Amino acid sequence: LLVARAGLGTINHTFLSWYYMKSMGLEPIGIVMNGFEGKDVSERTNPLIIGELTGLKPLEIPKVEGLILPSEYRNLLAELVGF
Amino acid sequence: LLVARAGLGTINHTFLSWYYMKSMGLEPIGIVMNGFEGKDVSERTNPLIIGELTGLKPLEIPKVEGLILPSEYRNLLAELVGF
């Protein structure tokens, strides 16, 4: 599971990490865009572009206060990793 | 020629970019660590670690005021790229 930042600059890092995982024989089961706020254009378009580059549809996880993710997103994450 | 930031966080980005260049059939002729200030431990140890990972000895270019690099560093860059 590749967890990436949601904001500006993440396309390059996410793609290169995904590429290296695959090169090393690891098959990524999903990509999480973490800390999503949707404030700027890059945040809103990053998932689409990363999806096109990798063939994986990134799961956007919003920025939350504290350490506990709302159950809605915990469920989506569990689904993504197959639990 | 791969130009990277000198500071904290650059090892991962530089290595992955170097790896991808090679994967795409581009042979990097050198690595430049740009904006070197040498202030923290990571800046001082990054070139060594990146050198070990890539087999290329990074050229450290200091942070300068303005757009013109001192001739000493222009010469080192020219040497690096074979001019």
CATH number at residue A52: 3.40.50.300
Q: If pLDDT is split at 50, 70 and 90, which confidence band does B9 have?
A: confident
Whether A13 and chain B come into contact, CB under 8 Å, resolves to yes
Please answer whether residues A2 and A50 qualify as being in contact, where contact means their C-beta atoms are separated by less than 8 angstroms.
no
Question: Is B20 in Cβ contact with A19 (below 8 Å)?
Answer: yes
Q: Is A3 helix (H, G, I), strand (E, B) or coil?
A: strand
- Per DSSP, A42 falls in state H
Domain enclosing residue A30, as ranges = 2-81
Question: Which residues does A28 contact at the CB level (< 8 Å), separation at least 6?
Answer: A1, A2, A18, A21, A22, A54, A56
CA distance to partner chain A, nearest, from residue B31 (Å): 18
Question: Is A16 in Cβ contact with B13 (below 8 Å)?
Answer: yes
Question: Is A17 in Cβ contact with B19 (below 8 Å)?
Answer: no
Looking up tokens 């530089």, which residue turns up? B14
Q: How far apart are CA A3 and CA A41, in angstroms?
A: 20
Average model confidence (pLDDT) across chain A: 93
Whole-number pLDDT of residue A67: 85
Q: How much is the average pLDDT of B10-29?
A: 96
Whole-number pLDDT of residue A60: 94
Residue A38 clears pLDDT 90, i.e. is over it: no
Residue B67 clears pLDDT 90, i.e. is over it: no
Nearest residue on chain A to B16, alpha-carbon basis: A16
Question: Is B16 in Cβ contact with A20 (below 8 Å)?
Answer: yes
Chain A residues in contact with B20 by the CB 8 A cut-off are 16, 19-20
Query: What is the identity of the amino acid at B74?
Result: R
Domains in chain A: how many in total?
Answer: 1
Whole-number pLDDT of residue B77: 93
Residue B40 clears pLDDT 90, i.e. is over it: no
